A and B are shown apart, each in its own frame.
Chain A
Amino acid sequence: AQKITQTQPGMFVQEKEAVTLDCTYDTSDPSYGLFWYKQPSSGEMIFLIYQGSYDQQNATEGRYSLNFQKARKSANLVISASQLGDSAMYFCAMREGRGSTLGRLYFGRGTQLTVWP
């Protein structure tokens, strides 16, 4: 079974609008971390936001927020006030906190976001 599932291969949003990118995860480890990365066409991986499994509040970083629903095992990324420069591939990733997989980062297949004027 996939550890991280991103069901939206592509998303389109108009500039200045908000957009939600979906991510669900699968783990039995009570301690884990969830990451979102942005990959523009230039190819580098840019860290956006992090949510720990024990964090009480949803993470926020500027225009990025993470809608963390632990019982549903979802960690959706919300981008407010989209900008043309937000057009990129977005990856959700998870790291489990213990055991033989400690340290390994599992990635979803990504969502290609296109922002249009």
Chain B
Amino acid sequence: NAGVTQTPKFRVLKTGQSMTLLCAQDMNHEYMYWYRQDPGMGLRLIHYSVGEGTTAKGEVPDGYNVSRLKKQNFLLGLESAAPSQTSVYFCASSRGQGRTSIYGYTFGSGTRLTVV
């Protein structure tokens, strides 16, 4: 099925370890996003990309890095994981600019990350 695929779905890290979350979409969407969801906080934007080779910071970018080397992939990296990064991470994509009535978002199924 076409859509957004996130890997892995679950991960437990020790404090200080690094890891990369992969997001892949097959809809030829220009825009991609990484959100984190914490209880009582809704979804908050970490980083986003408006096209291949471009990235920008969102609301909560500290401790994360991203790369968009290929249009279909958006990687989220944690260089030195901290317990505060325990969260559920969602990737999303959208077609981007234009009439806001047309371009919705497609979300991945989420990655549950625990840092101990």
- Which A residues fall within an 8 A CB radius of B? 4, 6, 9, 31-33, 35, 43-45, 47, 50, 52-55, 91, 93, 95, 97, 102-110
Q: Which of B44, B96, B109 contacts A107 (CB 8 A)?
A: B44
Tell me the minimal C-beta distance from A31 to chain B in angstroms.
6
| Chain B count of residues within 8 A CB distance of the other chain | 27
- Which B residues fall within an 8 A CB radius of A? 31, 33, 35, 40-45, 48, 50, 58, 88, 90, 92, 94, 96-97, 99-101, 104-105, 107, 109-110, 112
A to B contact number (C-beta, < 8 Å) = 62
Give me 15 A-to-B residue pairs in the complex whose CB atoms sit less than 8 angstroms apart, sorted by A's number. Answer: A31-B100, A32-B100, A43-B88, A43-B109, A45-B107, A50-B101, A50-B104, A95-B100, A102-B50, A103-B94, A104-B45, A105-B92, A107-B35, A109-B41, A109-B42
Chain A residue with minimal CB distance to B105?
A105
A contact residues around B96 at 8 Å (CB): 103
CB-based contact A47/B101 at 8 Å: no
B contact residues around A47 at 8 Å (CB): 104-105
Q: Which of A35, A97, A104 contacts B104 (CB 8 A)?
A: A35
CB-based contact B44/A103 at 8 Å: no
Q: Which of B35, B97, B99, B101 contacts A103 (CB 8 A)?
A: B97
B contact residues around A55 at 8 Å (CB): 101
Bound CA–CA A6/B42 (angstroms)? 10
Bound CA–CA A3/B54 (angstroms)? 25
Tell me the minimal C-beta distance from B59 to chain A in angstroms.
9
Q: Which of B31, B42, B58, B94 has the most CB of A within 10 A?
A: B42
